[in-house]
Amino acid sequence: MTERKAMITTRQPLPVTRQCQLLAVPRSSAYARSQPVSAPALTFMRVLDEVYLKWPFYGSRRLGAVLQQRGHGVNRKRVQRLMRQMGLRAIYPKPRTSHPEHGHKIYPYRLRGLTITRPNQAWASDICYIPMAKGFMYLTVIMDWYSRRVLAWRVSNTLETEACVEALEEALRRYRAPEIFNTDQGAQYTSEAFTAVLKSHGVTISMDGKGRWVDNVFVERLWRSIKYEDVYLRAYETSAALRVGLTQYFQFYNTERGHQALNRQTPDAVYFADPREKQAA
């Protein structure tokens, strides 16, 4: 079993799920285990996450200054290291934001000047850091741009591509494929494993411009809602509890939570107003 697990790698197009099937290895055992983080470090990461949500355009230097003013003894290098670990990045224009893997193809941004007028015209995806009482996880969502509806999601203890692919495949199974799919230029989204799924469904691939956080602004706003309306209030103890809690939250978000930008309608009401989506459901 150990020898077979060692053969599994994310450095090839074949998804980890399929590699596990071929090698008869349990999928859960194939993922890297995150290293334990001390309680003081987790507390600091929680504070850093809250400050970042309030001022997402702050870089490591300004975030460090704010934390020092609040009595946290920290230098810039530590802030930079934790931001990398948490997947945080300042959203002001700069030379590079999300980093594609070397050799991965970058696709042009396809939504500039385009008016989104119907469900499934464009989907978007992103990954965010989720603090917990005794650790942290990463959340990936697939969102319909027009209705703001969360179509699929996954939580993982690593920033690997697999969770992104699983969420995408679920969304494509349950709903009509979008015309355009937009992401940032992160290695998870530029990977062949991810883009191959989109190509197989005839979806046009779109990626944010460098430093253009506004290109995926609706998903960025979702993170703030999730954390302030659920995650920060509950301080989930385990990944199982987090999954149960997020299941309940996304049910509320899609079916009960009205959006000002949608004339106080829910994402479900807007998404399923299209007769084609009612038939698909």
pLDDT score of 95: 37
DSSP structure string for the chain: -HHHHHT--SSSSS-HHHHHHHHT--GGGSSPPPPP--HHHHHHHHHHHHHHHH-TT--HHHHHHHHHHTT----HHHHHHHHHHHT----S--S-SS-PPTTPPPPPP--TTPPP-STTSEEEEEEEEEEETTEEEEEEEEEETTT--EEEEEEESS--SHHHHHHHHHHHHHSPPPSEEEE-S-HHHHSHHHHHHHHHTTPEEEEPPTT-GGGGHHHHHHHHHHIIIIIHHH--SSHHHHHHHHHHHHHHHHHT--BGGGTTB-HHHHHTTSHHHHHH-
Global pTM reads: 0.72
- Inform me whether the pLDDT recorded for 92 exceeds 60: no
More confident residue, 276 or 179: 179
- Domain 122-280, CATH number (from 3.90.1150.10, 3.30.565.10, 3.30.420.10, 1.10.390.10): 3.30.420.10
Mean pLDDT of 49-74: 80
